[in-house]
Structure 1
């Protein structure tokens, strides 16, 4: 449906009253303070008469034909240690709270909700569509799920009620209030760490570094399964010292946390750089494993050397991969032949 019928949306939960009819949004780390009639940086949360309302509750960027959602392999998120080899039903919406110059989903991430054809999909309809399409999980991805937190929470609850897993793919730029709202119904998350220096975050993404790191920490502290992606961009965040700083931070979160160094491809407003050399990605892998991280992957590269999941102790292959296709090589519910428990959520 066309979104000329956005209306005033639904009442949000993550906000606080401020003076003179203003409100402060508490979903994302921008914590926008809004005058009546004003929208947040995300363009989907708006102050209506002293209340914060969400314009895109139950509205997704999706074809109006067929069952709602897009069926993906879970490895595409990327999640390698959560329900490997299964299908996940993916949903995305409109706009974002970042302004990444290299965004691969800029068609929806830089659009106001009224400028897109959005489809009405209730939380229950999303869960039912996943079951009908033989998916084991539902994911909120493609654009930043933080900005429509209340819809994600209700969709995740509906999915769990049907025995499905729940996933977000996020830039991590959310608050502790968001983590408290989502963590009870969230099984897994991939947090995209877009470099480990403050200045490029401000210049190229319109954000700061520290809140993203705190977002990942909030989820780990709440026992959500977390994997990290580091989009490795030539001459922006690929310096070996920066990679090492990132790896040391990730090791401090959990030495077993899966880390994905993924290849950059020129897109949107950043087409002046080449695709990431494979050697750069393999160097990042080596730095991270040298720091002590036990599951480090190279992604977005067909036939990459470091795409299989192997036992950190004995080297036995647990899961082999070709692109997004995963082959389970051993019983993941049993310890490895060397006695190590397999760090995979089934």
Structure 2
């Protein structure tokens, strides 16, 4: 574990705006679907939003988990988020912070997601500094990712607004466990989201993720109804989320919302408290892909494996290659601003 903050920040935070006053000094945090009701001195499930004398404060506003050296943030290809149908071939500057509102037993970022903000070294990066860093490093956008961005909603909102003012695009990688109030407050400043659906059964979701499933499903539907580009990731975990009937129900549900939503089936890798399970067999991922095809989904990918076949984008009508991908390297074959040779609109945000 990294060393605690060494006096550079006092975690006083800023006043949160996603909040509802209750009786006395009690407040309800309205950022995420836990809707924590907090008495003075209490922190939410996320451990970064605290009631201080009747005022809800975001303790980690402008604090990110990052090396103290060089410009802040990590430059990633946008395909790594994964966002396959949004600004292909561009770079996006990624930021994350402390803690989470889930408790996934397989979390690959557990070193930050399971840490209180006092327990890890955090770097101060204002929204304006994040934008300047993106410009300096040649990134075309900014993403909030690694841990759950919903819990530092006000920082995301201000950072995204500053990014738009400088002509940068914005993205979230999220578990979708946010409220309609969050979407009203932050959504207008976000261009793209990847929502991670961690299974399609309520009881295992509670046990292995520490939260209910339905709010995430509600968020997928809400985001799709707004002017935000949406892609969905489904983590296929052996003997947990890989049941053929569950996969069929999930793909049918997505198809009922919109068959053009890109779906990424992500391969599980053992981590944190779930090192007893093997990586997802390739044949299981292939079966998930086939199930999605049968459900009528038009853009289906298999993540965490190096396969051009399962990661390139093809026209659903004629099969023409639109984008060829190997790993996170992408080559745009068909200009997204034009139609496919068959006349189909190219469902890619250029």
Q: CA deviation at 1:3?
A: 5.9
1:280 aligns with 2:296: no
One of 235, 242, 246 as aligned partner of 2:239: 235
Q: How many residues align?
A: 346
**Matching of residues 103-118 of structure 1 within 5 Å:** 103-118=107-122
Unaligned runs of 5+ in 1: none
The match for 1:340 is 344
1:146 aligns with 2:150: yes
Q: Is the Cα contact below 8 Å between 1:102 and 1:269 reproduced in 2?
A: yes
The runs of at least 4 consecutive aligned structure 1 residues that moved more than 4 Å come to: none
The match for 1:16 is 20
Q: Secondary structure at the match of 2:56?
A: strand
Q: Is the Cα contact below 8 Å between 1:6 and 1:114 reproduced in 2?
A: no
The match for 1:194 is 198
TM-score, normalised on structure 1? 0.98
One of 204, 214, 224 as aligned partner of 1:220: 224
For 1:61-104, what per-residue CA distance to the aligned partner results, in whole angstroms no more than 9, with x for missing partners?
A: 00110001000010100000000111000000000000000000
Q: CA RMSD in A?
A: 1.0
One of 313, 322, 329 as aligned partner of 1:325: 329
Q: CA deviation at 1:182?
A: 1.2
The match for 2:318 is 314
**Matching of residues 1-346 of structure 1 within 5 Å:** 2=5, 4=7, 5-303=9-307, 305-346=309-350
Q: Is the Cα contact below 8 Å between 2:194 and 2:232 reproduced in 1?
A: yes
Q: Is the Cα contact below 8 Å between 2:197 and 2:234 reproduced in 1?
A: yes
For 1:4-24, what per-residue CA distance to the aligned partner results, in whole angstroms no more than 9, with x for missing partners?
A: 533421000000111121110
Q: For residues 110 and 12 of structure 2, what CA distance do their matches in structure 1 show?
A: 25
Q: For residues 3 and 228 of structure 1, what CA distance do their matches in structure 2 show?
A: 39
For 1:292-344, what per-residue CA distance to the aligned partner results, in whole angstroms no more than 9, with x for missing partners?
A: 00000011001253110000000000101110110111212100000000001
For 1:109-168, what per-residue CA distance to the aligned partner results, in whole angstroms no more than 9, with x for missing partners?
A: 000001111000000111111111111110000000000000000000000111111000
Q: Is the Cα contact below 8 Å between 1:3 and 1:118 reproduced in 2?
A: no
Unaligned runs of 5+ in 2: none
Q: For residues 151 and 3 of structure 1, what CA distance do their matches in structure 2 show?
A: 22
